[in-house]
Structures are given as structure tokens and as C-alpha cells.
Amino acid sequence: MVAMEKQIHTDVLVVGGGIAGIQSALDMADQGFKVIIVERQSSIGGQMIALSKVFPTLDCASCITTPKMSAAAHHPNIQLMVNTEVNQIETIGAGQQVTVTRKATYVDPEKCIGCRLCEYACEIEYPDPFELGLGAIRAIAIPFTNAIPQKAVLNPDYCTTCGLCARACPTDAIDYAQEPQTFTIHADTVIVASGFALNSLNVKPQYNAAQSKNVISPLTMERLLAPHAPYGRVLRPSDGKIPTSIAFVQCAGSRDETIGVPYCSRVCCMYAIKQAMLLSGALPMADITIYYMDIRAFGKGYEQFYQNAKAMGINFVRGKVARIESAPNDDMLLHVELTEEAVDPCRQQRHDLVVLAQGMLPQWNVSEHSSLQRESDGFVASPDVINPSATNLPGIFSAGTASGPKDIVDTITESGAAAMAARRYLHQQKGDKNPDLSTDKAAVHLVQRDAGEIRDGQTVQAGL
């Protein structure tokens, strides 16, 4: 089947369906504009939906994220395009022409009712990406419990096309021959909320993360601590042992010119403190040590959160970890200079689980897909001092960690500001033709000019 190019119009296109993209989309939709969220993953929710609890309120992350995800999914002005990558953003006249490709999921999302019968029938399992490999998922599955949309996705890397899922599916939604499809979306304005990635656990070879399964990413710790955790408790990866001495190595991928990340990643101090607090609840007997250079507890309520953690008995040790070596029983030996110790400051400390505070990098290189400029840190440039969410291109705005490391509180605020900036831009472009008070804005605002049909408030369907 030849991929068909389809033309779509919208007021706002949001790149990325994480918390920033969702918040910007909601704020635009609440102002009466039609929004499409383009998300490369199979569900919106971004990195936040996989977190355990969030500082400084210790709300469970799902409790904050799911209602916003759900509000976006149910908003009459918002459409979700998941499994979809943005290829190119090009300014044409006053608007933006965005080409996107919907990846083949081998399931017709129009037909899939999310019943999971395919998942139950499938006999192939592989390491679950949502659980960062801590659990297994079937080769065809709903991505995770609270995914939105609840549509099965088939992973061709593991599928043997045995046909069990196709036979189990009550709606005949499985399509082994599905092809990627490309769309052209004409958007009056674009908000880039493409988020962050973490640099590699192995970025500092002296930490030997490749040699030990027990040197883990903070995101893995988030999964271990989540209320619906893969093991239901905190166990270390190598042997399933309950850890008794846990180390957090701060600035393991940031504030370090030797690895090209001289900047602060802004969230690591606070999530380490939070994880330490949650761990001390989950493992009351465990020793928990945070090795740090500076504790950057700067936000509202953060310093108090840090002081509470100290009062709970978490060890805060000032010192940069120089080297991590393997020790017997899958443990690790940390070589660290304890800068506050007068006697014999160079020590070797043994721990049985180590969390490396990896640095934040941009998830998406905007320069490869648009004329957007980046700063030397690789994140989207913000050239306007009085409009931080503006980019170098009129009509394109950035929100959240696309323009630098940020915590969730600051991301949500900035996403609102990005929506306001986009709103002003639309007002400038369209004058008084704003959607206010015309509650009955043409229902079929989103016109697909080619074959097929796109319905308001639903995931855009590309399968035929």
C-alpha cells in the first residue's frame, strides 16, 4: 500500500505530548482554539507519567498527570496523534507547514477497542520499555495501565506474526501489512514541547555503570518506587536483593565540562532527596547517602523539603565521587573525597545500589527538523528577554524542557506562558477574528482534504 499524504488544518500544533505539551494544549484549547498534539510514543503523558511521586508535595505523579492527560483526551478542541513523529516544520506565509509520519503500529486504532485480548493471546514477551526493562510486556500490548489512548501497539522487533493476536481480536483490528503514513498539517502556530532525554549512564566511564547492573538511572529508581511498581517493592536489579546501603551520586552527568554538559540539570538534587525520602519509607533499615557538590533546593517549598530529609536521617555528604569500582557480591565501591572531613578525606565507601544523577539533554534536535535555533547547550534558544517562550521564528514557541532543564512546576508555568504567547501571536495575525464568544466555531474546523475522515476529539486515524 502506498502511503498517502493527507492535508490537515489546525490552529495550533503541539510537538510532544508530555506534561508541557499537554498543559500548552489545554491552555490553548480552553481559549477556544483547535489543537493537535503530535506524540512519538504510543501514549501521551511523557516522562512524568512514569514517575513515582513528585516533589515537593509528594503527590503521586499519576494523580497529577492522568487528569491532565484525560482532560486533553476528552477536550473537544484537542486531537491526539500518537505514534507520530514530526519530520519537518517549515514556515509558509504566516503559518507553519508541518509534515508528520505516523509509524506503523500494525493495529488499526479506529477499530481497536482496547480490550487487550490480543495482549492476552500473545505468547512473546520482551523487556517492557515503560518499566525500563524491569518487567516484561507482550509483543502486542496496550503500552501501560493508564496510557492514553488505550490502543494496542505491536512491536515488529519481537512479533513472529504467529497470528494469535489477529485471531483473538474481536474487531479485526490487527493489520500486519500496515504502512507508515505521512500527513501535512497546516498550523497557524506551533508549540515545541519536545522534552528532555538523559545522557548515558556510561557517559563517565570512571563510574563503570556498564559493569554493574546495580548502578542505575534515576528513572529506574522512579519505577522501583512507583505505587504500581514492577516488583511492588524496591529490589536491586542484579540479584533481587533488598538494598541496604543506597548511594545517590549527584552531578553524574551535569556540571561537568569533560562530558560536554557544563550546565546544571536543575531537577537532580530534588528528585534525589525525594527518592531518598521514599526509600527511607520503603526500606526503613537502609542507609541512604547523597553525594553532592551543592544542594540546589531553590523552588517554593524545596528548602523545607531538603531540611525534612536531613531530619529523617538521610546522609548528605559533600564530595564529588571520583570513581566507582565493582566490589564483591555485586556491590560497588565509591572513591570519594569528603571535602568536609578534616581527617583522611579520601575514602572508599561501599554501597549495594547506586543511582547516578544523569544530566538532561534535549530529546529532539530541532535544528534537524526546522530553522529553529539552538543555544550552545543544544536546547531551543529563547532570544526574547521579555518573552521567554518565544523562539527565533515568529509563530513558533517553546514550552518545558525543550528550552532547557526544568522541574515540573516550572514546566507547567512556562507551558501556560507559551500558550499565552501563541494566543497573542494568533491575535496579531488574525486581528479580531478570535474565537471568543462564538461558541459555535465551525465544528468541522479540522478538515482533511483528502480521503478518509477525521473526527473531532479523537485520535487521528491513519490506518485505512
Partner 1 sequence: MNTINNSQHDHQEPRIGVYICRCGGNISDVVDVERVAEVSRHIPGVVVAKVHTFCCSDPGQNTISQDIQAEKLDRVVVASCSPFLHELTFRGAVQRGGLNPYLYEHANIREQGSWAHKHDPAGATAKSIRMIAAAVGKLQYSTPLDQIRLPNHRKALVIGGGIAGMKVAADLAGRGIPVLLVESSGRLGGRLNQWNRVFPTDTPAGQLVTKLLAQLDANPLVEILLNCKVTAVTGFVGSFQVTIEGPLGPSGAMTTTQTTIGAIVMATGFKPYVPDDGEFLYKKDPGVVTMPEFIDLMRGQPTGTGELVYKGRTIRSVAFLHCVGSRQIDGVHTPRADGKINTYCSRVCCTTTLQQAIAAKERFPSLQVYDLHQDIRTYGRGHEDYYVRAGKAGVVFFRYHGDEIPRVTPADGKRPAEPSLHITFKDYLTWGEELTLDVDMLVLAVGLMAGDIPDLINMFKLPVGEDRFIQEIHPKLRPVEISVNGVLLAGTVQGPMNIEETLNAAGAAAVKASAMFLKDVVELNPYVAQVDTDLCQGSGACVTQCEYDGAIAMVETQVNGKTVRQAKVNPGLCVGCGACVAVCPTRAINLNGWRLDQYDAMVDGLTAEIPEVAAATS
Report strand pairing: 396-398 vs 181-192.
parallel
SS3 readout for the chain: CCCCCEEEEEEEEEECCCHHHHHHHHHHHCCCCCEEEECCCCCCCCCHHHCCEECCCCEEHHHHHHHHHHHHHHCCCEEEECCEEEEEEEEECCEEEEEEEECCCCECCCCCCCCCHHHHHCCCEEECCCCCCCCEEECEECCCCCCCCCCCEECCCCCCCCCHHHHHCCCCCECCCCCCEEEEEEEEEEEECCCEEECCCCCCHHHCHHHCCCEECHHHHHHHHCCCCCCCCCCCCCCCCCCCEEEEECCCCCCEHHHCECCCCCCHHHHHHHHHHHHHHHCCCCEEEEEECCCCCCCCCHHHHHHHHHHCCCEEEECCEEEEEEECCCEEEEEEECCCCCCCCEEEEEECEEEECCCEEECCCHHHCCCCCECCCCCECCCCCCCCCECCCCCEEECHHHHCCCCHHHHHHHHHHHHHHHHHHHHHHHCCCCCCCCCCCCCCCCCECCCCCCCCCCCCCCCC
Distances (CA, A) of 406 to 74, 398, 400, 401: 27, 13, 7, 6
Q: Which is nearer to partner 1, 70 or 200 (CB)?
A: 70
Closest distance to partner 1 from the beta carbon of 437 (Å):
6
Nearer to partner 1, 66 or 97 (CB): 66
Closer to partner 1 by Cβ: residue 197 or 420 = 420
Angle between helices 302-311 and 268-282 (to 10 degrees): 40
Nearer residue to partner 1 within complex by CB, 143 or 184: 143
- The distance of closest approach from Cβ of residue 205 to partner 1 in the complex, given in angstroms and rounded to an integer, is 23
What is the closest distance, in whole angstroms, from the C-beta atom of residue 464 to partner 1 in the complex? 25
Compare residues 102 and 255 and give the one whose CB is closer to partner 1. 255
- Shortest spacing between CB 10 and partner 1, in angstroms: 18
Q: Which is nearer to partner 1, 242 or 409 (CB)?
A: 409
For the chain, first and last CA: distance in Å?
A: 10
> Would you say 309 or 324 has its CB closer to partner 1?
309
Q: Any idea how long the chain is?
A: 464
CB of 297 to partner 1, least distance (A): 6
- Smallest gap from Cβ 252 to partner 1, in A, equals 16
Contact (Cβ atoms closer than 8 angstroms) between residue 251 and residue 292: yes
| Cα–Cα dist 95/123, whole Å | 48
Closest approach, Cβ 419 to partner 1, in A, equals 5
Residue 208 vs 280, nearer CB to partner 1: 280
CB of residue 389 to partner 1, shortest distance in Å:
7
Give the nearer residue to partner 1 in terms of CB position, either 33 or 106.
33
CB of 434 to partner 1, least distance (A): 6
Least Å distance, CB 186 to partner 1, is: 22
State in angstroms the smallest separation of the CB of 442 from partner 1: 16
Q: Considering beta carbons, is residue 81 or 86 the nearer one to partner 1?
A: 81
Nearer residue to partner 1 within complex by CB, 371 or 428: 428
